[in-house]
Amino acid sequence: MGLTHQSTGVGILKEMFEVQTDSPADLIVALAGNPNTGKSTVFNSLTGLKQHTGNWPGKTVTNAQGKYTYKGDKYLLIDLPGTYSLLVNSVEEQIARDFICFGQPHVTVVVADATCLERNLNLVLQIMEITDKVILCVNLMDEARKKGIVVHLQKLSALLGIPVVGTAARTGEGLNELKETIKLVAKKQFPVQPRRTEYDNILQEAIELIEPRVHALLGEKVNSRWVALRLLDSDRTLLEAMNRFFNFTLTDDNILRESLAQAHLLLQKNQVDLNELRDRIVTGIVKTAEKISHQVVTVENKNYNRFDRTLDGILTSRFFGIPIMIALLGAVFWLTIKGANYPSALLTTVFYHLEGHLTLFLQWLGTPGFIYDILVLGVYRTLAWVVSVMLPPMAIFFPLFTLLEDLGYLPRVAFNLDHYFKKACAHGKQALTMCMGFGCNAAGVIACRIIDSPRERLIAILTNNYVPCNGRFPTLIALAGIFLVSGAGAFSSLAATLAVLAAVILGVLLTFLTSRVLSATILRGLPSSFTLELPPYRKPQIGKIIIRSVFDRTLFVLGRAVAIAAPAGLIIWLMANFSVNGQSLLAHCAQFLQPFAHLIGLDGYILMAFILGLPANEIVIPILIMGYMAESSMLELDSFLELKQLFINHDWTWLTAVCMMLFALNHWPCGTTLWTIRKETQSVKWTLLSFLIPTMAGIIICFIVAQGARILGLV
Amino acid sequence: MNNKLIPLHQVPAGFYGKVKKLIAEGAARRRLLDLGLINDTVVEVLRKSPAGDPTAYQIRGAVIALRSEEACKLFVEIIHD
């Protein structure tokens, strides 16, 4: 059959998932499971890798890998996307299925939620149809105990015919047993005989007609009974996948085609059409799950979910749901702005002093003047700005945001807002991708994979940029802080919060508007089906939140910003100081842009800063400062007050600040985001549109605001 | 036992319904079935979202929100207990 190890096993794995095993002897473990089962926590606890824990479907958007060693063996753990099923409704289900089926992992561990076993068994049973090497990890045992839910693990194991391990990954309970079980199954030292889901007689009969030939063709590579069932179900995605991985088309075989026709005839005779067939397949699985769950789960406390319901009653209440949501968002911003002030000022001072030492050091080295200028005034100052302005707000914002995420609040936001998304012909889960966008728009764009209908997914991708990412937040916060608010003590941070909140709400409204317009024009169509799980609230682990959000997000984003800021600082310094005809290059460009920039309430330097800030929004303000400073004589920027003075010296008014805030909110996505959109949509056209739409919106809005204010004589 | 069938989205919060008929087609049907909404499944209507739609349902131990467009394709029999 030519199904060599090369073409099926590790070879394919490497290609598809970029799996990197150190040696062929490494054991590959796939981690599958429903979303919200603590799958990523299991992953983290096993590997020690600080990988992000998901609280909604699709968080694990690209598969994460981690390694661990147990009793001398190396294990490579692959975290598959969280899915409810493998009957392929979405890209993620297909990825998970293909890996389990064609990636040939040595073991597949299915993580299930002990508090919601019946629903989770659906996926377990489906995976058991594909592979024999399955372990069920019943996670969140601690939550279940707290809720008075008892899961009889031994009985479950006996009923399923696979090893079952109970864990509470957050506390580490049961993880050693899990590792031991993985070892036993991977090394075939533990007999696993998964119970196959029983379907009704006609289906069984039809399967038996095809299975022998499938087995003859595929051997032991893939479970032939399962393939037979998928063939009956006319699952084209599986045929395509087989074509891709095995390089041959199953249905090219004449004998198989014949038996398939026979099977279809049998079904037809019994009035089983495709719809009916699917119903029967799903019914078979669901009924089995129900039967097993009833035998192994005892609920001692019938009111176990009363707390969740009460909390939902408040957080999604008709009158308070949305106000609470806005208040929470406002509180997060307020804490960020208020809390960031002090460390920001501190960092600025530290960097200022360091600059003095650096200067002395460079002088001592005898560095030529222009190199000193480039290094200190160009690179160093840009870096100092990026770090002192970005680090404190991020170090506060991300943990707070992660806290809301861990509590399970974000799906409630989607629930509260879905109606408005529906009106905009978009998907409620877009609210989740937008939340992600607050962190990073590129991440938000990737998160759009959780939306399974292509149309709504594109809408979410094209509009994600309306959510200000944390690269733009400092710009918004700085402008709101130093300009709109005239140092009025306690009220200043409140007013700045309101200004930022207003910007965010405007972004949300523009998202709805743009989604609606897109649905009515180039992305016409009715909203597709919508299902959203509202998982139980979970007690967040504060310590882990801080570690995770600081390491995963804050340092990652800051690192990227710094990496871009350093060379950008250099180039921009050169532009600001390299003169042609007695004027710097930057000034030439700014002058050229000035007439248009003035129309939309900005000036040439600001627009220039936005254009040069394409690689990363974080550097817009440093570019601007450098542009201004190159013109004016030297100015040591050691406080926000001086920054304000610098801006005022360049004819800034409140209108300039407002227009710049508006333009920061609505302009082209950063380079990384554009690149991600290109990758996600596989289309230049959509990438171009994602550039044009927010840019046009920004220009139009700024034009109206600037001209309006000028006509009304407000400035 | 001759209970009238009504679409799920018309069942008020706090009531229970038993699924008796599913009229969705294609992918939408599959998605609803995947949630475990096969015949005779009991669904509890939990609450409506602030704007009145979608609605949260308790289905086989999980809380799932469905829009009225989906819920109207499920016909249920109200259970009085």
Per the CB < 8 Å rule, is B56 touching A418?
A: no
A300 lies in some domain: no
Band of residue A1 on the pLDDT scale cut at 50, 70, 90: very low
A395-404, A455-464, A525-534: which is most confident:
A455-464
Q: Quote the pLDDT of residue A9.
A: 41
Per the CB < 8 Å rule, is A286 touching B69?
A: no
Q: Quote the pLDDT of residue A391.
A: 81
Tokens of A112: 């299930």
Please tell me the distance from the alpha carbon of residue A452 to that of residue B34, in angstroms, as a whole number: 14
Across the range A369-384, mean pLDDT stands at: 82
Chain B residues lying within 8 Å of A283, measured CB to CB: 33, 38-39
A416 lies in some domain: yes
Measured between CA atoms, how close is A455 to chain B, in angstroms? 15
Secondary structure class of B44 (helix, strand, coil)? strand
Is the pLDDT at A197 greater than 60? The verdict is yes
Q: Quote the pLDDT of residue A705.
A: 95
Is the pLDDT at A90 greater than 90? The verdict is no
- How close are the terminal C-alpha atoms of chain B, in Å? 14
Least CB-CB distance to A529: which of B28, B47, B59? B28
Tokens of A116: 């919601």
Chain A residues lying within 8 Å of B25, measured CB to CB: 275
- A182 lies in the same domain as A205: no
- A659 lies in the same domain as A691: yes
A102, A54 in Cβ contact below 8 A? no
Per the CB < 8 Å rule, is A415 touching B34?
A: no
A395 lies in some domain: yes
Across the range A554-576, mean pLDDT stands at: 78
A473, A504 in Cβ contact below 8 A? no
- A266 lies in the same domain as A358: no
Please tell me the distance from the alpha carbon of residue A515 to that of residue B81, in angstroms, as a whole number: 44
A276 lies in some domain: no
Please tell me the distance from the alpha carbon of residue A70 to that of residue A476, in angstroms, as a whole number: 49
- A216 lies in the same domain as A339: no
Average model confidence (pLDDT) across chain A? 84
Domain finish residue from A232, A254, A271: A271
Least CB-CB distance to A422: which of B25, B39, B67? B67
Is the pLDDT at A73 greater than 80? The verdict is yes
- A180 lies in the same domain as A214: no
A196 lies in some domain: no
- A370 lies in the same domain as A225: no
Is the pLDDT at A378 greater than 70? The verdict is yes
Domain finish residue from A186, A218, A247: A186
Number of domains in chain A: 3
Chain A stretch 110-169, residues whose beta carbon is closer than 8 A to a beta carbon of chain B = 115-119, 122
Would an 8 Å CB–CB cutoff place A87 in contact with chain B?
yes
Across the range A647-668, mean pLDDT stands at: 92
A672, A559 in Cβ contact below 8 A? no
Q: Quote the pLDDT of residue A640.
A: 65
Per the CB < 8 Å rule, is A531 touching B31?
A: yes
Instruction: Suggest the residue from B33, B48, B55, B66 to mutate for an interface test with chain A (most A CBs closer than 10 A).
Output: B33
Say which residue, A693 or A221, is predicted with more confidence: A693
Q: What are phi and psi of A204, to 5 degrees?
A: -55, -45
- A602 lies in the same domain as A629: yes
Per the CB < 8 Å rule, is A532 touching B65?
A: yes
Tokens of A399: 């943990």
Would an 8 Å CB–CB cutoff place A432 in contact with chain B?
no
Across the range A395-400, mean pLDDT stands at: 82
- A326 lies in the same domain as A210: no
Per the CB < 8 Å rule, is A316 touching B27?
A: no
A578 lies in some domain: yes
Q: Quote the pLDDT of residue A88.
A: 64
Q: Quote the pLDDT of residue A55.
A: 30
B62, A116 in Cβ contact below 8 A? yes
Q: Is A525 left (phi over 0), alpha (psi -120 to 50) or beta?
A: left
Q: Which of A46-55, A131-140, A700-709 has the lowest mean pLDDT?
A: A46-55
Please tell me the distance from the alpha carbon of residue A154 to that of residue A173, in angstroms, as a whole number: 17
Across the range A278-306, mean pLDDT stands at: 89
**% of chain A residues with pLDDT over 90:** 32
Least CB-CB distance to B50: which of A316, A422, A530? A316
Tokens of B10: 């018309």
Across the range A81-108, mean pLDDT stands at: 84
Is the pLDDT at A684 greater than 70? The verdict is yes
Is the pLDDT at A32 greater than 60? The verdict is yes
Tokens of A546: 């801080």
ipTM over 0.90: yes
Is the pLDDT at A286 greater than 50? The verdict is yes
Nearest Cα neighbor of A661 from A616, A715, A620 is A620
Q: Which domains does chain B have, with CATH numbers?
A: 5-79 (2.30.30.90)
Would an 8 Å CB–CB cutoff place A177 in contact with chain B?
no
Band of residue A107 on the pLDDT scale cut at 50, 70, 90: very high
Measured between CA atoms, how close is B10 to chain A, in angstroms? 17
DSSP A440: -
Across the range B53-79, mean pLDDT stands at: 92
Domain finish residue from A271, A286, A309: A271
Across the range A224-232, mean pLDDT stands at: 91
Is the pLDDT at A510 greater than 80? The verdict is yes
- A157 lies in the same domain as A265: no
- A381 lies in the same domain as A458: yes
A412, A648 in Cβ contact below 8 A? no
Q: pLDDT digits over A241-266, tens only?
A: 888 888 878 888 888 899 999 999 99
Chain A residues lying within 8 Å of B47, measured CB to CB: 312-313, 316
Is the pLDDT at B52 greater than 70? The verdict is yes
Say which residue, A369 or A705, is predicted with more confidence: A705
Q: What is the CATH number of the domain that holds A75?
A: 3.40.50.300
Chain A stretch 262-301, residues whose beta carbon is closer than 8 A to a beta carbon of chain B = 275, 278-279, 282-283, 286-287, 289-290
A369 lies in some domain: yes
Q: Quote the pLDDT of residue A22.
A: 64
Across the range A359-381, mean pLDDT stands at: 85
Q: Which domain holds residue A555?
A: 321-711
Across the range A170-194, mean pLDDT stands at: 90
- A136 lies in the same domain as A259: no
Band of residue A623 on the pLDDT scale cut at 50, 70, 90: confident
A29 lies in some domain: yes
B contact set with A (CB within 8 A):
22, 24-25, 27-36, 38-39, 41, 46-54, 56, 59-67, 69-70
Measured between CA atoms, how close is A28 to chain B, in angstroms? 29
Instruction: Suggest the residue from A122, A287, A529 to mutate for an interface test with chain B (most B CBs closer than 10 A).
Output: A529
- A342 lies in the same domain as A426: yes
Per the CB < 8 Å rule, is B54 touching A418?
A: yes
Per the CB < 8 Å rule, is A533 touching B64?
A: yes
Q: Residues A502-524, buried b or exposed e (16+ Cβ, 10 A)?
A: ebbebbbebbbebbbebbeeebe
Per the CB < 8 Å rule, is A531 touching B65?
A: yes
Q: Residues near A506 by Cβ (< 8 Å), separated by ≥ 6?
A: A662, A665
Please tell me the distance from the alpha carbon of residue A419 to that of residue B4, in angstroms, as a whole number: 29
Q: Which residue of A has its CA nearest to B72?
A: A529
Q: Quote the pLDDT of residue A250.
A: 81
Across the range A52-81, mean pLDDT stands at: 67
A90-94, A188-192, A501-505, A631-635: which is most confident:
A501-505
Would an 8 Å CB–CB cutoff place A318 in contact with chain B?
yes
Tracing tokens 């030519």 back to the chain, one arrives at: A2
Tokens of A72: 């001398």
